[in-house]
Structure 1
């Protein structure tokens, strides 16, 4: 397994709605994440900066990257665009983080 971590950014006042939508994550989105090798996915919020910190395990980088081309992923991005910083295609602005320490 490969551990990935990245950060994203919420718009002010969108914290509760972001959490609600993830609490009610679409079954098709859950299935897609698993189908493309994503496991043990967590997202944390820094309420002072509205920075989201995500960490997950993936089976393969190329397989995971291909998930971005799925219809359900694109639909999810479109639905989340009003809540967070996005790119022109509505994908979240996401910055990969560099691992510096891990203790198992």
Structure 2
């Protein structure tokens, strides 16, 4: 498994709405993530800084990157543009983090 971590932002007035939209996520999005090899996906909110910290274990970079090309992911991204900064393609603005420590 490949461990990934990344940071995103949520609009200051949208913390509750962001959480509501993830509780639960769309069943078809969950199915796509799982079928593309995503495991143990978690997102944490830093309310003071409007930051989202996400971790996920993936089976391969290729399968993970393919999620973005699915119809359900494209619809999800568009749905989330109201609550978080987005790129021109509606994907969330995010920064991948470098792992500096891991205790198995």
- Is the TM-score greater than 0.5? yes
Quick one: distance in 2 between partners of 1:97 and 1:14?
Answer: 24
1:11-47 CA-partner distances (Å, limit 9, x unpaired): 1110000001101211000000001110100000111
- Indicate the residue corresponding to 1:19 in structure 2: 19
- Indicate the residue corresponding to 1:51 in structure 2: 51
- Indicate the residue corresponding to 2:66 in structure 1: 66
Matches within 5 A, 1:35-46: 35-46=35-46
TM-score normalised to structure 1 length: 0.98
SS at match of 1:23: coil
Structure 1, unmatched stretches of 5+, are none
Quick one: distance in 2 between partners of 1:60 and 1:100?
Answer: 20
Quick one: distance in 2 between partners of 1:38 and 1:94?
Answer: 18
RMSD of aligned Cα (Å): 0.5
